[in-house]
Structure 1
Amino acid sequence: MENKRINGNDLLAIGYKENHAMGVALKINKRRLGFTREQMLTNFKAVLADPNRFLTDEVFRPLAEVLLQLDTIMEKCVPLRDESIAYRVFGEEHIEAGARKQMDIAMRLPVAVTGALMPDAHQGYGLPIGGVLATDNAVIPYGVGVDIGCRMALSVFDIPATYIEEHKDRLEELIMKHTRFGAGNGYLKHERVDHEVLDSSVFESNAFVRALKDKAWTQLGSSGGGNHFVEFGVMEFADSDTALGVAKGKYLALLTHSGSRGLGATIAGHYTKLAKQLCKLPYQAENLAYLDLNSEEGQEYWLAMNLAGDYASACHEVIHDKIILALGAALLTKIENHHNFAWKEQYNGAEVIVHRKGATPAGKGVMGIIPGSMATPGFLVRGKGEVAAVNSASHGAGRLMSRTQAIKTFSAAELKMMLADNGVRLLGAGMDEAPMAYKDIHTVMAAQTGLVDVVATFLPRIVRMADDGSRED
């Protein structure tokens, strides 16, 4: 108990409020500096009672200074609405309170227009994962997320699904040879491939982005850590789909999930910091700092975000092209969709900026891919264009527990048994990505029958993920 981390609720209990002083206190607590938990709480309470007494204290001076300047700080903040704009929640009974609270705060932004929470939602930074937020001419870097343009890409081959069992070793070899995983990992100069995305004018017009071009080239065609994957599996069409031109049957398919790698993460960090400098919000909303799209900074971020999205798509294209060439396969269809992005769309006759942080576009007729986990089904879907969901659906099953909790809760034996029961061969990954750490994908899908129609089901069979502890997701 003594070493348990102090959190916001602990500070509320001793008299603090949700303001910038709480943020400073939590930063001080991270260092702990030899104090026990109880000693730290005692000091925090004393600083709150008499900030002047701590103005020369080496540890607590920053907190004392903020407490004495709170009124001035708050006067400089952009005020939030008194109440949240009403929004729809899908699968509400399975969504944690932290995600609801984050969405409530987002809907109090002065630029908020409408929003929705998807059934896979869970707490994140700023906008919750699974949160959809439409704003008036403003873009929120943390509303887009760190892994800008993260996406799913699916290639369905004109090869029967029985090929997997007959050639598992060959398919495993193809995945291992033509993919690379992990935060910071990429390709050596003689291994790099070219792609037109590297010729984007944004690399030339934006000095900050230009400095990232070599990193982007190095990581082109690679995948990040965390929940990113490359999978071979069985794609089952219970009925023929004339729009896609695919007949009823079971096929070999390749499914990938990853994003814009170091390029996107660095862009996200830079413009989030800039937004926080330009758009001072109250403490509870500071991660929702936004950029006006009429501003130079807003336009810079918009172009950089779109470049990161194009780059993420290029990474998938390179992976799929390499594997398709090595496999010698003919394509029946290829589908791609992305999340962690912002789009210009129409709502009630006006243009809005729709942020989908961990949410899939699901406009009428729009194709999407909603994965489960390494050992549970994924779904190829077609959007219904539900306005109450802001034309969106979930981007996956959604985490049931944190990575740390999953590692503490499950054993390698449990994971091995589940993989065996589902006929999955796993290459890499850690206990934090165990299927048991995710919500039941069938429950999530049942909560969004009004948002999408299921076209086909994907069953993973050979799964590659990062095995180095990377968390770039």
Structure 2
Amino acid sequence: MNEIPITVRGVVDDRAVAQLRRCAEAGNAVAGVLCADGHVGYSQPIGGAIAYPDHLSPSGVGYDIGCGNKAVRTDLRTDDVRADLPRVMDEIVDRISFGMGRKNDEPVDHPVLEQIRHADFRAQRSMVQSAANQLGTVGAGNHYVDLFAGDDGFLWVGVHFGSRGFGHKTASGFLAMAAGRGFKDKVPDGEMDGPPVLFALDSELGQAYLSAMELAGAYAYAGRDVVVDKVLEILGAEATHTVHNHHNYAWRETHHGVDAWVVRKGCTPAFPGQEGFVGATMGEASVILRGRDGVDTDELLASTVHGAGRLMSRTQAAGRIANRMECSDRNCPFWVSMGQFRDARERAGAEDGRFTLCPEHPSGKMVKRRGRVKEGSIDFSAVQAALTTEGIELRGGAADEAPGAYKRLDEVLAAHADSVEVLHRLVPIGVAMAPADTVDPYKD
């Protein structure tokens, strides 16, 4: 068997490269690519694209089927909006729901819901109500609604999110079936460095997943359309140009002379002439880019970056939140880990609820609460202050999404300068994300 060509751009983790090669070899891929924003993911690395002649990969597409970006240029001049920006951002977070499991407080009807009611893969039909509830919500993690000052003088709107609970349940169900379970059965996540889950295209599971993936992708597109339309309504604006792409999806394409399913996880399609919106961080410029004309699309599988790429894990950046034992006095900062508390109580032979380790309140007790048990590397208060100084209206967000947790987008794009060109730089002036106390289970 000939060695599978693997292309790596930029400086990426060796473990991510090993993940990509493992996935490519498992499905006898035509080729594999790891873009410069690449980093370790579940089985297939984020920033990775793999072309399989005869397989689809639900672990490759990932849990957030159809996650992607949409950007529109409005007919408003940025300078005409700045004075009203705080009110606009307040209305965005008031009318658009951010966070895990959130419902849309302004339900919308959309043709995609009728498609779900009559889904070819019958298990998706039962999810129509939850899909309706979440249509037009954004989620948590690195998902956002941003307002940008374009280098053309116009205000741009950009959003990043995917298929919400509908896509997550779809992906989880197929991963369960791949393990021999039922669609609604719970199965533990596979190993980060485990082999990919592959479905032969001509199998029953392969055909069912293809249909279900396409429907989840349509739902993700619809959700981004709904959110952008609501922001335009808030602004009293119209869109004059639109850029809209998935970056977690599989497409049938021809590369190296072979028809194949290109499974992109955190990769923006970038055929010659095709535009893409690539977000940076809450404090740095995003871009509208375009695939260069005359480029051989085989080497990179017509793929480019989908963002700046993580430099720190979420735990490294923000620390870790878990159960801990705190002094029952709400004004007291004292706490210990659950293990420390149990060991101390056992040594003391104490069993009643009055036992405490707090030196300031020896007659009090300790209670179990969620709290920070490990400090992170990012001082988010300092980040918030810096963004305010720069004139950026931030709503929500957390340390794990701070600029310091990411690579620099300009440096990442430089590694792809031969295949894409930047058309517009979009400087953030308003950023809306889920608040720090939300947790998003959806994986890129």
Q: Which residue of 169, 172, 187 maps to 2:104?
A: 187
What residue number does 2:9 align with?
A: 90
- Which residue number in structure 2 is paired with residue 317 of structure 1? 225
Matched, 1:442 2:410: yes
Q: More displaced, 265-274 or 419-428?
A: 419-428
User: The residue matched to 1:143 in structure 2 has which SS?
Assistant: helix
Rounded to whole Å, the distance in 2 between the matches of 1:205 and 1:165 is 47
Cα distance change on mapping 1:110 and 1:315 into 2, 3 Å: closer
State the Cα distance separating 1:412 from its structure 2 match.
Answer: 2.5
Q: Quick check: 1:84–1:104 contact (8 Å CA) kept in 2?
A: no
Aligned residue identity for 2:408: D
SS in 1 for 2:250: strand
Summarize the alignment of residues 339-354 of structure 1 with structure 2, pairs less than 5 Å apart.
339-354=247-262
Structure 1 residue 273 corresponds to structure 2 residue 176:
yes
After superposition, the Cα gap between the structure-2 partners of 1:214 and 1:284, relative to the gap in structure 1 and judged at 3 Å, is closer
CA distance in 2, matches of 1:391, 1:340: 14
**Is 2:141 aligned against 1:141?**
no
Stretches of structure 2 that go unaligned for 5 or more consecutive residues are 182-189, 319-375
Q: Is 1:166 aligned with 2:83?
A: yes
- 1:287 deviates by 4.3
**What does 1:425-464 correspond to in 2, within 5 Å?**
425-464=393-432
Distance 1:292 1:176, change over 3 A: same
* 1:390 lines up with 2:293 in the alignment: no
* Superposed CA offset, 1:304-337 (max 9, x none): 1111111011111111112222322132211111
Partner of 2:160: 257
What do the CA deviations read for 1:419-471 (whole angstroms, capped 9, x no partner)? 13432121011111111000111110111101211000111111110113222
8 Å CA contact 2:278–2:288 kept in 1: the answer is yes
What is the rounded CA distance, in whole Å, between the counterparts of 2:177 and 2:28 in structure 1? 18
Instruction: Give the letter for the 1:465 counterpart.
Output: M
Deviation at 1:86, TM superposition (A): 2.6
The answer to whether 1:404 aligns with 2:315 is yes
CA distance 1:348–1:101, shift in 2 (3 Å): closer
How far has the Cα of 1:202 moved from its partner? 7.0
Aligned partner of 2:122 in structure 1 is 207
Q: Distance in 2 between matches of 1:426 and 1:107?
A: 40
Superposition deviation, residue 303 in structure 1: 0.7
Letter of the aligned partner of 2:219 in structure 1?
Y
> Is 2:279 the counterpart of 1:371?
yes
> For the residues of structure 2 that align with 1:209 and 1:392, how far apart are their CA atoms?
30
Post-superposition offset of 1:356: 0.6
Helix, strand or coil for the counterpart of 1:212? helix
Residues 210-225 of structure 1: matches in 2 within 5 Å? Answer: 210-225=125-140
Aligned residue in 2 for 1:299:
207
- Which of 423, 426, 439 matches 1:470? 439
State how 1:88-127 maps to structure 2 within 5 Å: 88-91=7-10, 94-127=11-44
User: For 1:197 and 1:317, how far apart are their aligned partners in 2?
Assistant: 12
Contact 1:178 1:323 in 2 (8 A): no
Aligned partner of 2:307: which letter?
G
Structure holding more helix per residue = 1
Residue 422 of structure 1, aligned match among 390, 393, 416: 390
1:399 is paired with a residue whose SS is: coil
Cα offset, 1:302, TM superposition: 0.6
Structure 1: 5+ residue stretches without partners: 1-80, 237-248
Other-structure match for 1:7: none
Tell whether 2:224 aligns with 1:355.
no
TM alignment of 1:220-239, pairs within 5 A: 220-236=135-151
Deviation at 1:261, TM superposition (A): 0.1
Aligned match of 2:345: none
Distance 1:410 1:142 in 2: 31
Deviation at 1:137, TM superposition (A): 1.8
**Greater alpha carbon shift after TM alignment, 293-302 vs 422-431:** 422-431
Contact 1:120–1:395, Cα closer than 8 Å, also in 2: yes
Whichever structure has more strand as a proportion of its residues is 2
- Contact between 2:30 and 2:258, CA under 8 Å: does it hold in 1? no
How far did 1:170 drift?
A: 2.7
The structure, 1 or 2, with the larger RCO (C-alpha pairs under 8 Å, 6+ apart) is: 2
Partner residue of 2:48? Answer: 131
Return the alpha-carbon distance in structure 2 between the equivalents of residues 425 and 330 of structure 1.
Answer: 22
Q: 1:234 to 1:99 in 2, by over 3 A?
A: same
Distance 1:201 1:410 in 2: 42
* CA distance in 2: counterparts of 1:449 and 1:267, whole angstroms: 36
Q: Given residue 135 of structure 2, which amino acid in structure 1 is its aligned partner?
A: L
> Residues of 2 paired with 1:196 and 1:284: CA distance?
37
Q: Percent identity?
A: 35
Contact 2:43 2:191 in 1 (8 A): no
Q: Distance in 2 between matches of 1:453 and 1:327?
A: 30
Q: 1:379 Cα shift?
A: 0.6
State the SS of the aligned residue for 1:409: coil
Closer, same or farther in 2 for the Cα pair 1:324/1:121, shift >3 Å? same
TM-score by length of 1: 0.75
| Residue identity in the other structure for 1:234 | A
Q: CA deviation at 1:177?
A: 3.1
CA distance in 1, matches of 2:118, 2:305: 32
- Measure how far apart 1:217 and its partner are: 0.4
Instruction: Give the deviation of 1:172 after TM superposition.
Output: 1.2
Give the deviation of 1:98 after TM superposition.
1.6
Mark the CA change 1:409 to 1:334 in structure 2 (over 3 Å): closer, same or farther: same
Supply the distance in 2 between the matched residues of 1:122 and 1:283 (Cα, whole angstroms).
16
Secondary structure of the equivalent of 1:401? Answer: coil
Could you tell me whether the CA contact under 8 Å between 1:142 and 1:287 is conserved in 2? Answer: no
Amino acid at match of 1:359: C
Kept in 2: contact 1:144–1:340 (CA 8 A): yes
Letter in 2 for 1:391: A
Residue 329 (structure 2) aligns with:
none
> TM-score, normalization: structure 2?
0.80
